[in-house]
């Protein structure tokens, strides 16, 4: 018998898609498709993915036990040289997800909000994992989100997608314009991986553009102008 969860989907606030591409993702996800979301920063790719995954994982009738958030701890891809255990080393990279969940849930007070992320991890609904520790793992009954996937080469992407086990699905989020990969061959590997997924009926591949930017005020305008000018592309 599954353990009763302290935090459930009933605690989620209702999030509606804002742009046409977000609507496309919502609709495709409901059909059970895996997702590859790429394009401009500030378009809500990771937020939408995490919301949809948490909404499904936290249901009482779900086949999914947890959301597994996977990302590369760049620039070295190795965290063994940093002090502390795996959790300590990865803590800095988990801050964005801790912030995101606070916008997704209803909580009675500020203290509850501050404890929310840790509670999701404690009850087994959310698990953060570095790509450095993927070898030999298989994820059953999981929704896997691969964030900042533009920093992964073809071998790493290939390794991750073959870790998807029984009753699981996967979502990739990234912005190819912000890759930290320095070698041309590694960058080409990103596009080779995308080409494979575009040929698969199991995947919905969506490119987000400047019209999908949902940040407010001057930040939105900054991202639009940066994208138009092609600045920041290595």
**Cα first-last separation, the chain:** 51
Q: Where are the domains of the chain?
A: 20-229
CATH superfamily, with its number, for domain 20-229:
P-loop containing nucleotide triphosphate hydrolases (3.40.50.300)
- Give backbone dihedrals phi and psi of 43, rounded to 5 degrees, phi first: -100, 0
Say yes or no to pLDDT of 34 above 80: yes
Helix, strand, coil shares, percent, the chain, to 5? 45, 15, 40
Per-residue pLDDT at 78: 46
Mean pLDDT of the chain: 89
DSSP SS3 for 9: helix
Q: For 104-163, how does the pLDDT look when each residue is reduced to its tens digit (9 = 90+)?
A: 998 888 888 889 999 999 999 999 999 888 888 999 999 999 999 999 999 999 999 999
Per-residue pLDDT at 1: 42
Percentage with pLDDT > 70 across the chain: 91
CB atoms within 10 A of CB 131: 20
Determine the Cα angle at 100 with ends 96 and 102, to 5°: 125
Q: How far is CA 167 from CA 65, 138, 161, 164, in A?
A: 10, 11, 14, 9
Per-residue pLDDT at 100: 95
Percentage with pLDDT > 90 across the chain: 63
Per-residue pLDDT at 220: 84
* Mean local confidence (pLDDT), 32-58: 96
Per-residue pLDDT at 72: 87
Q: Distance of alpha carbon 32 from its chain centroid, rounded?
A: 17
Structure pTM?
0.89
Burial of 112 (0-12, 13-18, 19+ CB in 10 A): middle
CA distance 171 to 36: 6
* Mean local confidence (pLDDT), 185-214: 92
* Mean local confidence (pLDDT), 210-234: 82
* Mean local confidence (pLDDT), 45-67: 97
CA distance 171 to 161: 10
Say yes or no to pLDDT of 3 above 80: no
Say yes or no to pLDDT of 76 above 50: no
CA distance 112 to 46: 23
């Amino acid at each position: 018998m599954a353990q009763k969860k302290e935090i459930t989907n009933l605690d989620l606030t209702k999030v509606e898609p804002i742009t046409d591409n977000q609507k496309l993702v919502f609709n495709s996800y409901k059909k059970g498709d895996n997702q590859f979301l790429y394009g401009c920063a500030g378009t809500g790719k990771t937020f939408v993915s995490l919301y949809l995954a948490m909404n499904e994982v936290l249901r009482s009738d779900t086949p999914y036990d947890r959301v597994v958030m996977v990302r590369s701890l760049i620039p070295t891809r190795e965290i063994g040289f940093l002090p502390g255990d795996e959790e300590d080393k990865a803590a800095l990279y988990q801050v964005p997800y801790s912030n995101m969940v606070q916008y997704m849930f209803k909580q009675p007070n500020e203290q509850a909000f501050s404890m929310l992320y840790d509670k999701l991890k404690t009850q087994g609904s959310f698990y953060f994992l570095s790509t450095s520790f993927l070898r030999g793992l298989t994820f059953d009954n999981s929704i896997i989100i691969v964030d900042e996937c533009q920093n992964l080469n073809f071998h790493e992407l290939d390794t991750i997608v073959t870790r998807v086990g029984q009753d699981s699905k996967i979502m990739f989020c990234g912005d190819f314009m912000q890759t930290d990969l320095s070698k041309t061959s590694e960058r080409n590997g990103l596009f080779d991986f995308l080409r494979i997924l575009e040929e698969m009926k199991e995947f919905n591949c969506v490119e987000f553009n400047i019209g999908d930017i949902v940040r407010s005020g001057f930040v939105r305008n900054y991202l639009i102008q940066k994208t138009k000018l092609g600045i920041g592309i290595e």
